[in-house]
Structure 1
């Protein structure tokens, strides 16, 4: 019998602590987490990102997530972003989203999204591009999550971000055993 694995996605604009908090939460709850495939993919690019690269990142993120779901014995996992990021970045940097991504968005649901707030200081990183557009991208995340009718909560805090995330997750798990 296959039990349904709940997926909790950690999403948001650049430099909001998504990868760090995803790993912290996975350790705290003793469960698995899905890495951000695009980070590894983009680190290996030798030319500007194309629509085909975005499609490749979509497929990579989905495959990585499916492999973690298949191996977990826990009732839930954490996802360090989702392929919704592919849509947001494709729209912002290439002016359109690959159709395969648009078709897949309503089919891949997450039980809870934690939208990381932009209240952390910007951290330089060669893969980050828009330090002055954080508010803009935060608004886009809100818009995209609303369009998906996603269950999401903004998590902020410069010192207590982890604790704030745990409170949201604990309440969610209590309501959704």
Structure 2
């Protein structure tokens, strides 16, 4: 099997939009990318898992964890070549770690090793104060706070710097921009 690629060098700031499902990560990544005129890394797992769901009706198996991590890191490396000051990542491999623990109570050793070698400058941890949006892949509407706590615990476990961001619509964007501006 293919291995999780090493991160390519990037001299700007890698910012990860991070948190439970249905908290607006993709929307915020697009908004920040447009605001700063910098590229975003789209969430690999969404298209990958939607295709599997459409083919056979399953959401995710443990065997999908490494391909998701490989796809996410590959997309990140491609986008980093186009970035200057910021790279906005709509999730990362730490997010994959959290979901692996939540669904399977285990994580591939290769994923843990890749996380330990990864460098992200800041995480924007999105609060669960947004309305739940149902789709084929989302399945934890009643566990949002528990999942938020898992996400925060993973950041603390690996020593990543983060800012919690809440608010709806333009307020959420404004709060994220304020957090990023403090990094400059």
TM-score norm. by structure 1 comes to 0.92
Preserved contact between residue 10 and residue 80 of structure 2 (Cα < 8 Å): no
Aligned residue among 78, 81, 90 for 1:70: 81
Question: How far apart are 1:3 and its partner, in Å?
Answer: 5.8
Mapping of residues 1-177 of structure 1, within 5 Å: 4-45=11-52, 46=56, 48=58, 49-72=60-83, 74-159=84-169, 160-173=171-184
> What CA RMSD, in Å, does the superposition of the two structures yield over aligned residues?
1.3
Report the number of matched residues: 171
Q: Which moved more, 1:17-26 or 1:103-112?
A: 103-112
Report the CA distance shift for 1:69/1:150 in structure 2 as closer, same or farther (over 3 A). same
3-state SS in 2 of match to 1:68: helix
- Cα distance in 1 for partners of 2:99, 2:153 equals 14
- Cα distance in 2 for partners of 1:80, 1:152 equals 15
5+ unaligned residues in a row in structure 2: which ranges?
A: 1-8
3-state SS in 2 of match to 1:79: strand
- Cα distance in 1 for partners of 2:161, 2:62 equals 29
TM-score norm. by structure 2 comes to 0.89
3-state SS in 2 of match to 1:53: helix
Question: How far apart are 1:50 and its partner, in Å?
Answer: 2.2
Q: 1:51-88: CA deviations, max 9, x gaps?
A: 2211100100011100111233x121100011112111
5+ unaligned residues in a row in structure 1: which ranges?
A: none
